[in-house]
Structure 1
Amino acid sequence: MNERSMPLDYYVTISTSDDKLSAYLLISNTNDSFSVKIGELEELLKSHSIIHGVDRTQLVQIASDPKPYFFQKVTIARGTKAIDGLNGSIKYIYDLDNEDKRPLELEDGKVDFKQVLSLHNVKKGQLIGQRILATEGNPGRAVTGEVIFAKAGKEARFKIGKNVIMDADRMAIYSAIDGMIVKTDRDKINVFPIYEINGDVDYSVGHIDFIGTVVVRGNVLPGFKIRAAGDIRVLGGVEAAELEADGSIEISAGIVGQSKAKVKAGKNVKSSFIQDAVVEASEDVIVSQSIMHSTIRAGRTVNCNGSKGLIVGGTIQAGEKVVARTIGNSMATVTVVEVGVLPELRNELIHLRGQLKVLSENSDKSDKALSLLDQLAAAGQLSPDKVAMRIKLNHTKKQAFEELTAIRERILEIEKSLEDSEHAKVQVISTIYGGAKVVIGRYTKFIKDPVSRLMFQLNDGDISMVAFK
């Protein structure tokens, strides 16, 4: 090997990248006789402060045969890159950024286009979102040994709107009320107690199940359902739809039920008119115009005494009182008005009497069959299968007796409540027509001819008609 006439750094240039994550070796100013030892290369690197990430295998290859590396910039050291920290984030219980409205796909592969919108319901005190902290990151190291600092992740911050509270550690947010989560402008998280539809409840909206109050500024179209833990207010009309609220229901333009509408409220139902529908209210049903061919059940009062105030057809049941301007019509359309007991008790009584009849008939059949089997037993003519039948019938008879006893006791209990109807009344402001039937408690009065301006109430065990001015 020829002696070099110049220092090694004349022939070999060491350089680094701008970020000091790479070091390079370049052999130049030489000829084919150039040679170098591995130790010399290592010392040269140290003289340039290249101490981290040195590729010694590469250096060994260069030292053993430098010629292939002439006039090439060869990487002979690699630093450790810094890993920046991850930004903090917020994990919500709902995907608040997904605004797509896709219909619900059922298990059988069919699609329910009425199930379009999923409301983000929350209860008071329920967790809405949790903050995930940012990370610091991992520092790196340059080929010269200096530390390369990592950039820490940016912390996420809650943007709180209405009815949302944060815990003391600022790590979670909770709902202050029952309602729905809504992300508004500037990404603020709110919980609103009212869900408002600025139009009809149709296929673009779908069924609604909301934990607060629902306001519909249009109509509720046939086949759709609204369920609300608060109130329901419909500024338009309700067609063959189903509405249920724990609070009250108010329908400005009335109900055209097409014999399919069902409206049920935990408090009151108020509507301009009701036609061909089933309406239930734990308290009052208030109608300004008319109730036609409908089933109405109110825990307290049915009030239909507006300028028209007409009740015709169907069945009206109220726990305390029914007030109407007109009941029935000149065509003697059958119209039933029942007061003096909660509607559900009166309907339960009808159901129980039906059950009692069926059980009594079955019990009679069992008694006849047992009587025949007892005769065979007395004559010693019971086969094994007849013995089994006799045992089974005795067991059935015992069960039937217990059921019959329980039903009779419940019927007596309800009938006793029917007796306590002295404050119940039906008030007719204008006219009640023939074909109408008034039931107060357990007493019934059929109307044959039109009568005007009177009140029906119990008096000495009968329904009396009291005129008023």
Structure 2
Amino acid sequence: MEGIGNYKLEVKISQDKLEAGIMLVITDQEQGTNIQINESEVREILRKSKITHGILEQVVHDLCTNPSKFTAGPVTVAVGSPSVAGTDGKIEYTFMKLNQDDKRPKELEDGRVDFYSITSIPNVAKGQLLARRTPATPGQAGKSVTGEPIVPLPGKEAVLKPGKNVVVNAERSMLYAAIDGQVSFTDKDKVNVFPVFEVNGDVDFSIGNIDFVGTVVIRGNVPTGFRVKASGDIRVLGSVEGADLEAGGSIEIKSGIVAQDKGQVVAGNDVRTSFIQNGNVTAGNQVLVSQSIMFSQVRAGKQIICNGPKGIIIGGTLQAGEKIVARVIGNTSATPTVLEVGVKPELRLELAAINKELQTVYENLRKTDQGLGVLGQMLKVTGDLAPDKKAMQIKLANTRLILEKEGKQLEARKKEVETELEGESPAAVDVYYMMYPGIKMVFGKLVRFIKQEFPRTRFLVINGEITTSTLI
């Protein structure tokens, strides 16, 4: 506050320094109506308060010509320039991504519908641009009313994730196909280009087991006992019985799985089918079923969705990292069914192992630095080292480089795992029509047995308890 004659001018700066207010305080009430304020006086007070940016000239003028307006409370006299956050980087895919929901059977010239001709494969040519990375922007710095710069929040960089048979440019901003083939997304959204192997009918003894570094399309059925393995995707236009299917990408089975508790279906990304009966299915991402899951073992890294026109889950054990969704779960006979959601034990175990390894690495680094320090002191005192000491110094220096590299790799992987765990959405079980008694529900260490009917209900954990809410 600055006193001038029969009044004082009080200046207040906001905590974020983006706004300053000025207030007139009258010290001599008898002469309060005769106040005269010069502009130079106001500017001197602002200068002493270090206000140099964003001064509102009209307010300064009003203060000098009509001081009474400023006695009721502070009036904004300066406004800073807020920083503008940077925009996040993004990845633009330049090829046609296959949308499974848009596929339609092919209509023939005579009006008939060919339900087998529905698999559309997004082929690309060698050298074709597949993805383009737009870098994040750093944002625009702001300035406080005191003239200090306000550092903006920079955007988060997007990262191209090259897989097999693709190349990136030196700036890692462009991704190209290295061969002719089909684009396939595998673990952690890596982009790959795989060649395609097609079977124009059933997998039988004339074909035998399939183990292919690429994508496999089977335009018939896969009977019990056969094995199909692919680095890319597997698409079966017929049904799968008790066979073994394993794909690095996704698996689509048009006519469903009838496994009779034999074989297994394992995908690094998604599994999509019409129904699963007595099957064993594992997906790194989602299991998407349009009709029913009956007496099966089903695991998904993120979600199990069975929410089609029927959308029934009865019997078996279902495990999902984030969510299980169905129209109906269980039946009036209270068939035992187990639903487990909300944990990623493999990630948590990996994080614990990484922390243990890092502790060992840092302890070895400390001992190595201690040894190098002793040898350094000896060299400083004697001016030279004996041959065995020199050899030890070289060995310790090499060991330190190896430990540093190992530590950086472990820290990078630790950050990835922590990001994945932080990105977990709250686990839930959604039933859009009815859940019947006989269900065992597990959320991590919490267990709830369903002993009554629950229509249109969401189950989730709040404050350490499995609670319910009504789905609209």
Q: Which has the higher Rg, Structure 1 or Structure 2?
A: 1
TM-score range, shorter chain: 0.3 to 0.5
> What TM-score, normalized to structure 1?
0.44
